[in-house]
Structure 1
């Protein structure tokens, strides 16, 4: 008998919606602080380097716990793991809002990411156990929409909250939905039973290795661009630790009797390709959310609220595309919908490449509208095609690995873009400076318009340097968007390699 046969359709929908609320706030909190780091740093009397850890600590902790969620759900059951995750996330959100210095904030943010991270993959598992046929397609569309919408709305919502209230409310807004989810989910989500005996045969060595591997890798990717990669001794240490721990982890998981992460799932072609597409969409989701606010803040001088308003159009157009996707998903092969989504994402990145220093919300509207539609057409089909054909027992492990690939894609994408911004800005500045000679009439005209006092004090040369640096920065953002475009061109070309998925008729016996 199905473990959810006793539930009515309305109860299943309510339980699924409640879990989606938890997943949404956990994903939202990755980026909700991104437009408000300056305010948080000011409130806690912290410098920019320390304040960056408000976001980094959350990402590191979350990326470590997500792949462990499959094993944890077998030990404690999906229901109680989700409840513990929601309760822990809510409590640590309260502590983040009450942080008294930057050190306490970083500790609470790390705990928030670690305790809340398990809410994300458990939603995937529950959706495919609860629903079948067209309902499963709609559930996957909902998950995919939320997974891409939450990071997109993060800077917008965060900027608005900080501008109208204070940065403390970035965390306090989690309290009501967190409490609701903590009490709503356990009554209805009973798809499996806990098995505490697994603690005796747990792959503890594998858990240590994956924590070292992902934690050091995330730190290297986050901090590497800031400290010029291998020129810094700490980055060298974490990079080597990640490489060695990663190699040992792969060996361990392929040979252990009870692996904590089932890497053998990658033998399935659809799952391997789906994990790759999840990785690429992670690059697109997180790297563009990193680049756009950075451009608006550094080049245009926008405030947190102005940045939020400027990037809001992406979320709007994604929401508008949800009915289109839902209509097509039950009538058209999902592979072709995903292919259109990937191609549309590549086009949106191409539309970003003519970016200039005077671009504002109006110029950003078309590329961001295309990106919003692309996210909705690309992400949900990846979820369905990758996880939709798996039995519930395998879903618990597979969904954790699938979500980890998306977050890893985001981490690597952000690190690569930060490196591009650093290295290519210097290159473009040097090339522009080479053109600033006495033979350059535009430069001579600019200097001639300065009054004598400005020229004598060197103000004219300083203004010339600032203009040159601004243009070099702008050209570098174009390079970064072009690099993301190439990733999606490759992904688009690989979509036909996926097989069409025929989902199981219902939950298998091993889901009990």
Structure 2
């Protein structure tokens, strides 16, 4: 009898729930620092450029290890890989909270992302090993909800912790759940055995190439907008390195006898399309979480906690939509549910486009509510339709690639939005400035009003410049949301190309 068959239904649920805790805290930590970077920088006496690496280093390390998790789980077994990942994540969380300068923080954050990254894809594959039929749909819905909810709640929780305690607790809160997962998972998740012989035939060339490819790609995407892309020597070097390593990696994985990433899974139409949808949902999840707090901080002047409260409605409406999805998932073709979710996400982005400088939580409520519902309707069906039809033996490698596509979508989406904010702000400012001539009566009235308070003409002109720049920034955020909307419109139109999934019957011990 296989190890999975020996587990009762209750044991499977408890084991799966324990792994979900680990996945949730690993995903939460991507964005938990986003609303608190200014506080972290102040506490460690670091500038804004250095502080940005607190988030970037985590993302680079995590995105490198995720596609390797399938091979690592075969070598060390699912339970021991997950336990080691949880233990490493917990230890490095402690070190992050105890960091003494920005350099130590960046090193510990990179280690945290690398050591904790394997917890994310292994949950996806374990769900398809443990459950089948309707239970598999519920498990996929749970994973999809957590995968989109954790980054959404990150800024809210992070802002609240920073305002009420200190930024150190952004990391210390991981200790208790991390220890729990480290202890429980090896005791309960018994679905496969280690195979250390795979170390002898490991695709070490592929591992090096994917590390260089994804590491340089993530660095280029994160730092490119800040340094004007190819005009910067370092960015130019990492971009060319990314291109060469990427080409060599693809060639290697398609020709190697034991590839570390199963690119051949892309021959399956559903998996290829599902990976694309994962990429697009990554753009939506991470780019909107990037844009909204940035708008509230730069244009509205919100604090970390105020920003967290303003974006909290997305998570609330996503949670409220979970029962709706659970009811519909076993009654409606998942393709049409996914289509509804992707379409609703596009509508939510369209609702963001009339944004103005005086938008507050009230104006943000409706578009964010739509986005929360859209996330719940879109992400779980993507998981089920993409991974549910694959043979158990291919789930491990395919899950790593699937999750990598989501993170890549997030990285590229954030980089594209940052570039839009940089380039379009100047364009909108110039267009607005063209109308600020002596013939503009409202402008003359404003200047006279400011000078009437005793301000100098130079101070009045400076205030006019600030108002113009604020409006230019606001118009640019509208452009960025519109760009995300276009991506989701394209994705929505492509859903009918997917086939309806008939999941393979019966779990297999070889699925990990």
Q: TM-score range by the shorter chain?
A: over 0.9
The answer to whether 1:170 aligns with 2:170 is yes
Contact 2:254 2:264 in 1 (8 A): yes
- The aligned residue for residue 127 of structure 1 is 127
Instruction: Tell me how far 1:453 sits from its aligned partner.
Output: 7.3
- Separation in 1 of the partners of 2:26 and 2:432? 44
Instruction: Tell me how far 1:35 sits from its aligned partner.
Output: 0.2
- The aligned residue for residue 280 of structure 2 is 280
Give the RMSD, CA atoms, in angstroms: 0.9
Change (3 A) 1:245 1:454: farther
Q: What does residue range 53-452 of structure 1 map to in structure 2 within 5 Å?
A: 53-451=53-451
Name the SS for the 1:7 alignment partner. coil
Contact 1:270 1:498 in 2 (8 A): yes
Instruction: Tell me how far 1:457 sits from its aligned partner.
Output: 4.7
- Separation in 2 of the partners of 1:277 and 1:133? 23
- Separation in 2 of the partners of 1:232 and 1:511? 45
- Separation in 2 of the partners of 1:78 and 1:509? 11
- Separation in 1 of the partners of 2:451 and 2:412? 48
Instruction: Tell me how far 1:454 sits from its aligned partner.
Output: 4.8
Contact 2:129 2:509 in 1 (8 A): no
Name the SS for the 2:178 alignment partner. helix
- Separation in 2 of the partners of 1:18 and 1:453? 63
- Separation in 2 of the partners of 1:362 and 1:452? 34
Contact 2:282 2:408 in 1 (8 A): yes
- Separation in 1 of the partners of 2:103 and 2:179? 26
Farther-moved stretch of structure 1 (425-434 vs 388-397): 388-397
TM-score between both structures, scaled by the size of structure 1: 0.99
Instruction: Tell me how far 1:2 sits from its aligned partner.
Output: 3.8
- For structure 2, which runs of at least 5 residues remain unmatched after alignment? none
Instruction: Tell me how far 1:190 sits from its aligned partner.
Output: 1.3
Change (3 A) 1:509 1:45: closer
Instruction: Tell me how far 1:504 sits from its aligned partner.
Output: 1.1
Instruction: Tell me how far 1:393 sits from its aligned partner.
Output: 1.6
- Separation in 2 of the partners of 1:492 and 1:511? 31
Instruction: Tell me how far 1:450 sits from its aligned partner.
Output: 2.1
Contact 2:283 2:411 in 1 (8 A): yes
Instruction: Tell me how far 1:445 sits from its aligned partner.
Output: 1.0
- Separation in 1 of the partners of 2:307 and 2:110? 26
- Separation in 2 of the partners of 1:177 and 1:453? 57
- Separation in 2 of the partners of 1:452 and 1:254? 73
TM-score between both structures, scaled by the size of structure 2: 0.99
Farther-moved stretch of structure 1 (322-331 vs 457-466): 457-466
Name the SS for the 1:187 alignment partner. helix
Contact 1:142 1:380 in 2 (8 A): yes
- Separation in 1 of the partners of 2:199 and 2:454? 73
Name the SS for the 2:167 alignment partner. coil
- Separation in 2 of the partners of 1:197 and 1:221? 37
- The aligned residue for residue 28 of structure 1 is 28
Name the SS for the 1:181 alignment partner. helix
- Separation in 1 of the partners of 2:509 and 2:353? 52
Name the SS for the 1:186 alignment partner. helix
- For structure 1, which runs of at least 5 residues remain unmatched after alignment? none
- Separation in 1 of the partners of 2:211 and 2:28? 23
Contact 1:391 1:507 in 2 (8 A): no
- Separation in 1 of the partners of 2:154 and 2:93? 15
Instruction: Tell me how far 1:239 sits from its aligned partner.
Output: 0.3
- Separation in 1 of the partners of 2:263 and 2:185? 30
Contact 1:62 1:117 in 2 (8 A): yes
- The aligned residue for residue 496 of structure 2 is 496
Change (3 A) 1:26 1:442: same
Report how many residues are paired.
Answer: 512
Change (3 A) 1:73 1:384: same
Contact 1:284 1:410 in 2 (8 A): yes
Contact 2:396 2:511 in 1 (8 A): no
Contact 2:4 2:508 in 1 (8 A): no
Contact 2:395 2:511 in 1 (8 A): no
Contact 1:27 1:151 in 2 (8 A): yes
Instruction: Tell me how far 1:510 sits from its aligned partner.
Output: 3.6
